[in-house]
Chains A and B, each alone.
Chain A
Amino acid sequence: MTAIVARGVGIGYPGEVVVPDIDLTVPAGGSLALVGTNGSGKSTLIRTVVGLLPALAGSLSVLDTRPGKAPTRLAYLSQFHASGYILPIRAVDVVGMARYASLGLLGRPGGEDRDVVEWAMETMAIDELRRRPMRDLSGGQRQRVYLAKVLAHRADLIILDEPTAGLDAGGRERYLDAFAAELQRGAALVTATHDIAEAVEYHQVLLLARRVVALGPGRDVLTPDRLMETFGIVISDPHAEHVGRFTVAERTHGSPQTIETRPPPA
């Protein structure tokens, strides 16, 4: 099985190409981080891979079939959640939705389904919120519920669009452990993130700026020059001990510039 194979794929909307000519392969158990500013094409690529948008050009195979044709084997965390505020629904029911793709319309959930939902909630440490309505939860708690829903898919390909949004430190730690374990299990993982420190841990990093800036292992790709091309502004932190620790500021106006920070006066 190969999770994703893209050859010359163009993504975007009718009449608007967002990123042309993407070539990439994510093997089973492989991980890919998508890094770029808002509007760089991260979410567009993700929406194309999960089958919500058609590819504009090239050939794209997801889980050895066309995008959107393997719903039981793919889990997707979107960046925005449409309603959830007026919807009367408990945390456990949201996590349980993960099983719908395999249960179909009328399949009755069995003990295995309940076990996997329970395990996912324990993994994200929300088992005590089980019966609480979603509308009573904080933003960080809701994000944990959505992440537990992704875990409960037991998917072969996991796609996360900015999964750490709104998570507190404890939640972030649980998230990192849980999805490292998913990789260990053999699932492939694609994550859109602003977190360079997280991205550097992935097998591959794709830098996007409405074009493919670079694709490769994090330590080769996440260089100040490349980040400069991607984001416009890079502040190199003189105290950073690790490669890949940069503070990245997004350019909004004008031409790209590098700002060098000085150590604080003694």
Chain B
Amino acid sequence: MEVLVEPFVESSFMFRALVAGVLVAVACAVIGTFVVLRGLAFIGDALAHGVLPGIAAAILLGLPGMLGAALGAVVMIGGVTLVTSRTRLSSDTAIGLLFVAMLALGVVIVSATGAFQGDLLAILFGQILGTSTEQLVVMAIATAVVVAIALVAARPFLLLSFDPEQADVAGFSSRRYHALMLLLVALTVVVAFQTVGTLLVFGMLLAPAATGALVADRIGRMMIIGVVVGSLSTYAGLLASYWFDVAASATIVLIAVTIFFVVLAISSVRAPRQAGGRTDPVTGETAP
């Protein structure tokens, strides 16, 4: 029992890391649910890595990294919007173009100075074990904001996931709420990268929500399952990192993705759907 609890009681840095991870898990499960349902994974990935040049430039100029990350996210979303609205290219292409350019720019900035190669690793993989109390406060506020906005905009977000045209016809502008959704993804990425790294943010956006999608029959439950999976992964990953001295962020992501595949395997065994089909009690039709 002590093995499971001791690290978080004995070392305050482990406790802060756990709180940081759970905060990220909550924000990511809520907004990640929509990322998964709306097929926004690529823009999530692009945002998670496209903020790199902003962060690098900010560190270079001695400004807060978060400011640079926010600027990077704005450029990313603005660029994608520009390309998709001015051309007939799909958003995949637009996102890919911006993503590659931003990542390349980030590496160029880092390599030109050569001073903080270690920082590059920190940006990608985070320093969850080095989370400060101030960072926790900022993350708690950001998580609260993400959850509050998602609750207020729950109806348009659901309509958007169901069919964007239905959102428009119901009087909720699909463009406006799509932009708000991207903004929440960006906010989550920008606030979380410092502690858990851009890689973990992206993993946490996808894996827990995708696990929820496998078993949930409504969106609220999908989010709750996402929070549980994300928090469990954080706890288990930190524990593994403490006792076996492995990289914390990477272990957390690995556990989250592993949980997804385990749940997938279990749910495929339990419900061999599509196989037999079900007969409908009303029409007598058999579902495909």
Please tell me if the beta carbons of A76 and B152 are within 8 angstroms of each other in the complex. Answer: no
Could you say which of A76, A82, A133, A140 has the most chain B C-beta atoms within 10 Å of its C-beta? A82
Please name all residues of chain B whose beta carbon is closer than 8 Å to the beta carbon of A76 when the two chains form the complex: 165-166, 169
Please tell me if the beta carbons of A94 and B156 are within 8 angstroms of each other in the complex. Answer: no
Query: What distance in Å separates the Cβ of B63 from its nearest Cβ neighbour in chain A?
Result: 36
Query: What distance in Å separates the Cβ of A200 from its nearest Cβ neighbour in chain B?
Result: 27
Please tell me if the beta carbons of A88 and B283 are within 8 angstroms of each other in the complex. Answer: no
Tell me the residues in window 41-75 of chain A with beta carbons closer than 8 Å to chain B beta carbons: 50-52, 68, 71-72, 74
Please name all residues of chain B whose beta carbon is closer than 8 Å to the beta carbon of A83 when the two chains form the complex: 37-38, 161-163
Question: How many A-B contacts at CB < 8 Å in the complex?
Answer: 110
Interface range for A: 35 or more
Please tell me if the beta carbons of A87 and B37 are within 8 angstroms of each other in the complex. Answer: yes
Q: Tell me the complex Cα distance, A170–B280, Å.
A: 13
Please name all residues of chain B whose beta carbon is closer than 8 Å to the beta carbon of A131 when the two chains form the complex: 217
Query: What distance in Å separates the Cβ of B284 from its nearest Cβ neighbour in chain A?
Result: 9
Kindly state whether residue A89 has any CB partner on chain B within 8 Å: yes
Interface range for B: 35 or more
In the complex, what residue of chain B is closest to A84 when comparing beta carbons? B162
Please tell me if the beta carbons of B280 and A138 are within 8 angstroms of each other in the complex. Answer: yes
Q: Tell me the complex Cα distance, A253–B90, Å.
A: 31
Q: Tell me the complex Cα distance, A90–B219, Å.
A: 10
Kindly state whether residue A229 has any CB partner on chain B within 8 Å: no
Kindly state whether residue A136 has any CB partner on chain B within 8 Å: yes
Please tell me if the beta carbons of B159 and A138 are within 8 angstroms of each other in the complex. Answer: no
Kindly state whether residue B109 has any CB partner on chain A within 8 Å: no
Kindly state whether residue B287 has any CB partner on chain A within 8 Å: yes
Please name all residues of chain A whose beta carbon is closer than 8 Å to the beta carbon of B37 when the two chains form the complex: 83, 86-87
Query: What distance in Å separates the Cβ of B179 from its nearest Cβ neighbour in chain A?
Result: 16
Please tell me if the beta carbons of B217 and A52 are within 8 angstroms of each other in the complex. Answer: no
Please tell me if the beta carbons of A51 and B283 are within 8 angstroms of each other in the complex. Answer: no
* CB within 8 Å for A88 and B219 given contacts A83-B37, A126-B282: yes
Please name all residues of chain A whose beta carbon is closer than 8 Å to the beta carbon of B213 when the two chains form the complex: 86, 88
Please tell me if the beta carbons of A138 and B162 are within 8 angstroms of each other in the complex. Answer: no
Kindly state whether residue B62 has any CB partner on chain A within 8 Å: no
Kindly state whether residue A243 has any CB partner on chain B within 8 Å: no
Kindly state whether residue A81 has any CB partner on chain B within 8 Å: yes
Kindly state whether residue A177 has any CB partner on chain B within 8 Å: no
Q: Which of A3-11, A98-106, A183-191, A206-214 lies at the interface with chain B?
A: A98-106
In the complex, what residue of chain A is closest to B278 when comparing beta carbons? A136
Kindly state whether residue A31 has any CB partner on chain B within 8 Å: no
Query: What distance in Å separates the Cβ of A147 from its nearest Cβ neighbour in chain B?
Result: 13
Please tell me if the beta carbons of A97 and B166 are within 8 angstroms of each other in the complex. Answer: yes
Q: Tell me the complex Cα distance, A170–B168, Å.
A: 32
Query: What distance in Å separates the Cβ of B263 from its nearest Cβ neighbour in chain A?
Result: 14
Q: Which residues of B contact A (CB under 8 A)?
A: 36-38, 152-153, 155-156, 158-159, 161-166, 168-172, 212-213, 216-219, 221-222, 273, 278, 280-283, 285-288
Q: Which residues of A contact B (CB under 8 A)?
A: 50-52, 68, 71-72, 74, 76, 78, 81-84, 86-90, 93-94, 97, 100-101, 103-106, 125-126, 128-129, 131, 133, 136-141, 168, 170-171
9 A-B pairs in the complex with CB atoms less than 8 angstroms apart: A83-B162, A88-B213, A89-B217, A90-B218, A94-B162, A101-B171, A105-B152, A125-B283, A170-B283
Closest 8 interchain pairs by CB? Answer: A71-B171, A101-B170, A138-B287, A82-B163, A88-B216, A133-B217, A100-B155, A76-B169
With A71-B170, A82-B162, A83-B162 already in contact, 18 other A-B pairs whose C-beta atoms are closer than 8 Å: A71-B169, A71-B171, A76-B169, A78-B163, A78-B165, A81-B162, A86-B213, A88-B219, A89-B158, A97-B162, A97-B170, A100-B155, A105-B152, A131-B217, A136-B287, A138-B285, A140-B283, A141-B280
